[in-house]
Amino acid sequence: MEDKGTKRNYNVFFNTHTVSGIVISVGLFVCFFAGAFALFLDNINHWDSNQKNKVGYAQIDYERVIQVIKEDGYEMQGRQFGIFFREDNPPYIQVNSQPIKIEKDTTASKEAEKISEKDSLALAGFFLKIDPTSYQIKGRKFDPHTRQLGTFLYHLHYFNQIPTFGIYLAGLVSIFFLFAIVTGVIVHWRKIVSNFFTFRLKASIKNLWTDGHTALGIIGLPFQFLYAVSGSLYGLTILIFIPSMMVLFDGDQEEMISYIAPGFDTVEMANKPLEERQNVNHLVTKAVQQYEGKHIKSVFLNLTNFDDENAQLNVNMDVEADKAFYSNANIKYSLASGEVVSEQKLGDNTYTNSVILTIHKLHFGQYGGYFLKAIYFLLALITCFVILSGVMIWLEARDNKKYETKKTFNTNVGAVYLGICMGLFPAIAFFFCITKIFPQGMEGRFGTMGSVFFTFWFGYVLYAYIIKDFHKINKHALMLAGVMGLVVPIFNGMQSGLWPWISLPRGYVDSFFIDISWFFLGLVSLITSLSVQRLVTHRKKQKEQKNLVLMNDEESEIASEIPAMAISNSSSNH
């Protein structure tokens, strides 16, 4: 009874692992493959816009920015807004604000409560892009996909191109991935060590895929578990925070935010105009000088209750310091007196904030340099192979007479799956190439490039569906990506003049890094595509050998019959 129960449990977990893996396979592959490139988001953006590595945070005249907002007709009394420098192409100062809330006066007449159209626009929220040189407003629209390649790939890795539901879909995929990891460990637990050292190269294709799936799955297990948990947290944050807010904070959103991120808590207005306020530039300089000698990567300002007696300035800094895992620090000043209201020094975090920051650091590999991200990149590619091999096991298991009636359906599913997954590699390489072909000043440049990228990707999926040859789908994807990968540094050199032997001495480290990475990635992909052999199943090999033996026997019989027929014909002629 115990053996039957154990076998039943094994089958349940095995089938659960298979089903959960197949359901999320395509989405999970996109998450990890695009996410592998998204690890180098800033590096790719610098390569895209031909920028040097950022030395430190950009010096901004914040007082001038505030004056630009006022001159644009917005009411500043009681306003809450943020100011942040964006390294886009071209770079700009981002200013975003919530609408100003107006307390209704119940004693006032309906006539007095009416606000003119001009006043309502002055109180409205806004999003502004301000040129950091001329301080002219260059745009008023927030573009979630931005205009840079690295950010595009970052958005792609959690399906942000799908409006509203993309990030939730990524969260669900992560949940199923976590389920697949747990059930996979349970299935392989008893033989996890022996299976790790088993790789049957001369066995059937199914066993070959199985051994690769198991061995590489074990190697990347901690990495995959990390991304399953953190991906679920990021994708389904709303399902975590809403119940927490209702139960722990009695539905008070502002109280929850002040607990999680103390620097962003709101303060009640005094409803009294501030006659004289402190200079914002001076306060920012004062905050930055506390970390003199350390590399400050960025500064984000959050101003609350502006021009009110309770107005406050929160200076949030991303500080790169030796032997410090956390890099965030913030200082909150009173704009009335200039005194420090609260301060969170470098590495001084609350428990909740530490947990969130730790997950963020681990998820994006932001606790090391190029080497750490390269390790993450390789582990992401290993995970992609684990996902790919899992589906190939499923397809090979159905390549027999038992599933003969569904053979066409299974072949079509496999072709589309491989087309989507493997086609993403040459599509991304193609995107890097056309980034250097389309002129920087072209109107609607990035939107056009995005459309071309998705068209190329869809075209490869269509090609895969038409040929339905798994070997050719994989081989041609690697070949295309290999050729275009080798071409990427050539296109960059021709467009920007930043050839690898020029970019590094001039300080364009990211340009050099991306070009060299693509060169080696393209070279490995091309060599692999040219050297890979078509895999034949053990059953097909036996069938081919049997047919060959039968053909040889038939040829021998025919050869032996020829002399006899000749003698017979000769005697009959006589």
Q: What is the pLDDT of residue 483?
A: 95
Residue 401's pLDDT band, with cuts at 50, 70 and 90, is confident
Say if residue 549's pLDDT is above 60.
no
466-501: burial string, b at 16+ Cβ within 10 Å, e else: eebebeebbbbbbbbbbbbbbbbbebbbeebebbbe
- Range with the lowest mean pLDDT among 85-89, 253-257, 398-402? 253-257
Q: Which amino acid is at 268?
A: E
Q: What is the pLDDT of residue 516?
A: 95
- CB 137 within 8 Å of CB 68: yes
Q: DSSP label at 86? A: E
Residue 514's pLDDT band, with cuts at 50, 70 and 90, is very high
221-235 vs 370-397: helix crossing angle, rounded to 10 = 90
Mean pLDDT of 522-538: 80
Residue 479's pLDDT band, with cuts at 50, 70 and 90, is very high
563 against 382, higher pLDDT? 382
Site of tokens 């070949």: 479
As given in the structure block, the two tokens for residue 358 are 């730790």
Say if residue 473's pLDDT is above 50.
yes
Question: What sign has the CA pseudo-torsion 36, 41, 45, 51?
Answer: negative
